[in-house]
Homo-oligomer: A and B are copies of this chain.
Amino acid sequence: MKLALAQINPTVGALKINAAKIIDLIEEAEHEKADLVIFPELAVTGYPPEDLLLKPQFISENLSCLKDISAKCRGIAAYLGFVNRAGKDLYNAGAFIVDGKVEEIYHKMNLPNYAVFDEKRYFKDGKKCSVVSYKGMKIGLGICEDIWVEKGPYLEEAKKGAKLILNINASPYHVGKIRERERMLGARAKNTRAHVVYVNMVGGQDELVFDGGSMAFDPKGKLIAASDQYREELLFVDLEKDRMKNKWLDELPEIYEALKLGVKDYVEKNGFSDVLIGLSGGIDSALTLAIAVDALGKNRAHAIFMPSEYTSGQSFQDAKQVSLNVGVEMIEIPIKDVFSSYLYTLKPHFKEKPADITEENLQARIRGNYLMALSNKFGWLVLTTGNKSEMSTGYCTLYGDMAGGFAVLKDVPKTLVYRLVGWRNKKGNVIPESVIKRPPTAELKPNQKDQDTLPPYEILDPIMQAYVEGNKSAQQIVAKGFDEAVVKKVISMIDRSEYKRRQAPPGPRITHRAFGKDWRLPITNRYREF
């Protein structure tokens, strides 16, 4: 049997456009003499449609798209995801289409409602598994979570004679997840002695990145075919013949590509042509610019350098060099005059209070205003440049460096920023050595260093990661050998910065737990572990 794995990038809500794309690929697969073409979970609506699912009209239109799709599905079978409705209940559903008709509808039985998932808000769980017969083959149907759970429907389907298990997905990326998927799927194939075919979505949707990497396994659990990550692909698989040795991306390129796709899709699906980035001469904004240029091309990225009296000559040279390296013109707007004007008008109201964080934040907010002014004037999307270490500790200014539409490094800790820069520089030097070597500084007051306020990033990051991503308690983190006072300081900074994160722009999720859908802490929260 010849299968076509249609790893597509649908857009949430673009029902007709998604349907047209599906129909095109059905026709292409039929033309290439495939027997069966398989699309991702909720391919018709995009994933996650969130509260669009509460609109009855949206559900009706998705059903009418499914009708159009099935009418065009001739000479080939298809399995694809859509939203089914029965009375008032909705289902995360898969349609198996043969000869222009929906022959079987499967309802997802295991609805994830943890981490970034809220499926029980919308869907009822299906109650029975589905095995269809097609061209002499018994085929078991499933959707995403169904194959992750130990006793999922695939088991019963195999018992009922299924020799091919189809599993369609909208599985969001995090570091190393592709290898978890491969291990789990191989085990399922081996266990059921069936072919297992896994089709994933690809593309960015707000904070989520779907990385693709669709796969097929033989009944011994061996991978026999795999799509690339991060791009649309129609992959043909001959179940009897295909054999391959897969090569997934290594960690750093895997992350870099996820960030690129996240940026590209946020920009393009939201209808922006260009992006704008504030360059500081530091490493975060340099990496953000490199990712933007790699994702969109140098003609669609703009850089602006906004020096103050605390900005060093080195920062100017470094920012300039980064712009030159990526081929982007750098606009320069000094913030000095506006800053003086603010200070002058505020003086009588500050009542002789000494300079403090106020004046630092004010500089960051002036820069935010300049970025937004250019954004408004030219319709460019502002990309913010803060990293996860800053976002977690609140070492960032609301409406200042946090001002913008998409936060590229929001889920990238500072130490990983350095590693990504190291990797990116190997492919062509974009970020000068001096940027990498200089101690990080916000340059908002004389001789300021990040490390005046924060523990060194080599200590901060593992503590932050244990607390945020690993969900460890303070006690557990101290038990790993970190200094108790430092742990207390870091956790306390994280706990108290919730209000900032609540007003932060979204950014691509690359870890097990990002500041987004999978981090839902109250702002008003008096719980302290110390």
CA distance A291 to B379 in the complex (A): 37
- Given known A51-B519, A269-B524, A525-B13, contact A369–B362 (CB-CB < 8 A): yes
A412 at the interface (CB under 8 A from B): no
A51 to chain B, nearest CB (A): 5
Q: Contacting A374 at CB < 8 Å: which of B114, B269, B344, B349?
A: B349
A317 at the interface (CB under 8 A from B): no
B337 A522 Cβ-Cβ under 8 A: no
A50 B504 Cβ-Cβ under 8 A: no
Give chain B residues whose Cβ lies under 8 Å from the Cβ of A524: 11-12, 204-206, 265-266, 269-270
Which residue on chain B has the smallest CB distance to residue A111?
A: B120
A499 at the interface (CB under 8 A from B): yes
A471 at the interface (CB under 8 A from B): yes
A436 at the interface (CB under 8 A from B): no
Binds B, one of A89-97, A128-136, A352-360, A427-435: A352-360
A120 to chain B, nearest CB (A): 5
B342 A358 Cβ-Cβ under 8 A: no
A54 at the interface (CB under 8 A from B): yes
Give chain B residues whose Cβ lies under 8 Å from the Cβ of A12: 522, 524-527
Give chain B residues whose Cβ lies under 8 Å from the Cβ of A344: 337
A69 at the interface (CB under 8 A from B): no
Give chain B residues whose Cβ lies under 8 Å from the Cβ of A377: 350, 353, 356, 358
What 0/1 pattern do residues 369 to 391 of A give for CB contact below 8 A with B?
Answer: 11011101100000000000000
Binds B, one of A74-82, A280-288, A397-405: A397-405
CA distance A337 to B55 in the complex (A): 48
CA distance A26 to B390 in the complex (A): 45
- Given known A13-B527, A118-B121, A368-B399, contact A342–B52 (CB-CB < 8 A): no
What is the interface size of chain A, counting residues whose CB is below 8 A from a CB of the partner? 81
A113 at the interface (CB under 8 A from B): yes
Could you say which of A350, A362, A522 has the most chain B C-beta atoms within 10 Å of its C-beta? Answer: A522
CA distance A118 to B122 in the complex (A): 11
B365 A361 Cβ-Cβ under 8 A: no
Which residue on chain B has the smallest CB distance to residue A51?
A: B520
Which residue on chain B has the smallest CB distance to residue A114?
A: B121
For window 255-286 of A, CB contacts with B under 8 Å fall at: 265-266, 269-270
What 0/1 pattern do residues 501 to 530 of A give for CB contact below 8 A with B?
Answer: 011111000000000000111111111110
B345 A334 Cβ-Cβ under 8 A: yes
Give chain B residues whose Cβ lies under 8 Å from the Cβ of A54: 471
Q: Contacting A376 at CB < 8 Å: which of B331, B357, B471, B529?
A: B357
- Given known A121-B114, A368-B399, A399-B372, contact A13–B526 (CB-CB < 8 A): yes
Give chain B residues whose Cβ lies under 8 Å from the Cβ of A505: 499, 502-503
For window 320-363 of A, CB contacts with B under 8 Å fall at: 331, 333-334, 337-338, 341-342, 344-346, 349-350, 353, 356-358, 361-362
A55 B265 Cβ-Cβ under 8 A: no
CA distance A415 to B114 in the complex (A): 39
CA distance A358 to B144 in the complex (A): 45
A88 to chain B, nearest CB (A): 12
Give chain B residues whose Cβ lies under 8 Å from the Cβ of A56: 473
A398 to chain B, nearest CB (A): 7
Which residue on chain B has the smallest CB distance to residue A350?
A: B377
CA distance A269 to B499 in the complex (A): 13
B399 A373 Cβ-Cβ under 8 A: no
Q: Contacting A372 at CB < 8 Å: which of B333, B374, B398, B506?
A: B398
CA distance A17 to B247 in the complex (A): 55
A49 at the interface (CB under 8 A from B): yes
- Please name 7 pairs of A and B residues whose Cβ atoms are closer than 8 Å in the assembled complex, sorted by A: A15-B527, A206-B524, A265-B524, A266-B524, A338-B338, A358-B376, A405-B499
Closest 9 interchain pairs by CB?
A13-B527, A14-B526, A358-B376, A399-B399, A57-B473, A13-B526, A13-B525, A358-B377, A51-B520
